[in-house]
Amino acid sequence: MPTNQQLQDLRSELSPPTEDSPTLVRKFAAGHGELRTLAVLAAQQHRIITSDRRSLLLLATRCADEPLGVWFAGLADGESAALRTLPALAAACGPTETRAEPLPGCQAYPSYLAWLSLNGHPPAVAAALVANFTAWGGYCATLAGALRRFHGFGEEACAFFDFFAQPPTALEQAAADALGPAGLTDPDLDAAREYGRLLQAYERMFWSTLAEHP
C-alpha cells in the first residue's frame, strides 16, 4: 500500500470523533471559556514546545542521513516558529499567578515524546505524529475562531493557534515522501498505533488538566 494511504488510514483510525473534542475547547467555542485558562495554556506550551523541539532534533539526528531526518528537523523549525508566537497570546490573555508552574498532566505529552526520541522507531514515530497533529490542529482552529468572535483577538494574539490550525495534508504528504514509496512495514504500523494511542491519551490529559486547573 502507498505510504500516503497508510498515513491517511492511520489518521482516520486514531483521530478522535469531532463530538469527543475536549470540554475546554467546546466551552470556548460556545463563548464560555476564561482567558486566564489560556494564559496557563501558554505557560505550559512554552515548556512543551521547548522540550518537543529538542526531541524532534534528536529524532532528526538519529536518521540524519535519510530524508526522514530532514522532515523531523523541519518540524523542529516549526516548533521554533510557534514559540515566537506565544508571548502575544500570553499578553492578550492577561496575567496569571500560575504562569510558570509546570502541571504534570500537561507535561506528560512532551515527556512521552522525549521517550520516543530515545526509544521509538523513527518511521513509526513520524506516522504517529502525523496522525496526532490532526486532532490538535482542529482544536487550535476552534480556539482561534472563538477568540476572534468572543474576545476580539487580532492576528498577532491568535497567531499561535493559527500556526497549528493548518490542514494536515501538506505535512502528511511530506512525511510520506520522506518515508519513501515502499510504505511502512507491519511492525512499523503496529508501533505507530501504539505511539499514536498514547500521544492521544496524553493530549487528552493536557486538555483535562487545563479544564480542572483553578
Distance CA(209)–CA(64), nearest Å, equals: 36
Distance CA(46)–CA(50), nearest Å, equals: 6
Q: E strands within 19-156?
A: none
Residue 129 CA from chain centroid, whole number: 8
Distant-in-sequence, close-in-space partners of 141: CB < 8 Å, separation ≥ 6 = 161, 165
**Residues with pLDDT less than 70, the chain:** 96-99
- Listed residue (89, 93, 88, 90) closest to 36, CA to CA: 93
CA angle, 124 then 13 then 184, to 5°: 30
pTM of the full structure: 0.94
Residue 5 CB coordination number (10 Å): 11
- The pLDDT value given to residue 96: 60
CATH architecture of 3-212: Up-down Bundle (1.20)
- The pLDDT value given to residue 97: 52
Characterise 152 by phi-psi region: left (phi > 0), alpha (psi -120 to 50), beta (else).
left
- The pLDDT value given to residue 47: 96
- The pLDDT value given to residue 101: 85
* Domain ranges across the chain: 3-212
- The pLDDT value given to residue 98: 45
Distance CA(143)–CA(33), nearest Å, equals: 10
- The pLDDT value given to residue 169: 83
Distance CA(51)–CA(38), nearest Å, equals: 20
- Listed residue (14, 153, 183, 180) closest to 91, CA to CA: 153
- Listed residue (33, 53, 52) closest to 211, CA to CA: 33
- The pLDDT value given to residue 145: 97
Distance CA(139)–CA(168), nearest Å, equals: 13
